[in-house]
Structure 1
Amino acid sequence: MENNKSFAEFMNESTVPQKQSSEMTMMEIYVDMVINEILLKQRKQQILTALDEALDQKDQVAFMELSKELNTLEVTHGV
């Protein structure tokens, strides 16, 4: 049961999973960012469609609420 590996070899082997774990974490962050961007753009499109409907129906209350939500979305997320 001899271990012929040097300390450097042993440390290199033990850090490989950490690098893979780090890369996986970065990939998860990137995927999360992409999904959030898609959801934000989808919500913006829903608001714009609802704004058009509120204008067509001359619903001032709905128009004001949707305008406020759109403004908040643009200010907080830059969408």
Structure 2
Amino acid sequence: MPRLKVNESELRCRKLRGCIKNAQEVQGINTVKTAELTGIPVSTLYARLKNPDDFRVRELRDVFRVLKIPEKEKERIAREVI
């Protein structure tokens, strides 16, 4: 029988992944370009997006900087995801 309820950790991962994907869409930047601009290897960025719990603070800062996520949005993400 399939699980009906998503656990809290998976829900936080989905929210962070969605925020990053949404910001990429708004900026018109794909994951490869994001990796290039942040200096994070493409394979590492894909792995981090697959499992956002593995993101390092520096990597998130770089991603947020490249995607021009405003300070208020960062605060909202931090409250919801951390």
TM score, norm. by length of structure 2 = 0.34
Larger radius of gyration: 1
TM-score after normalising by structure 1: 0.35
Q: Which has the higher helix share?
A: 1
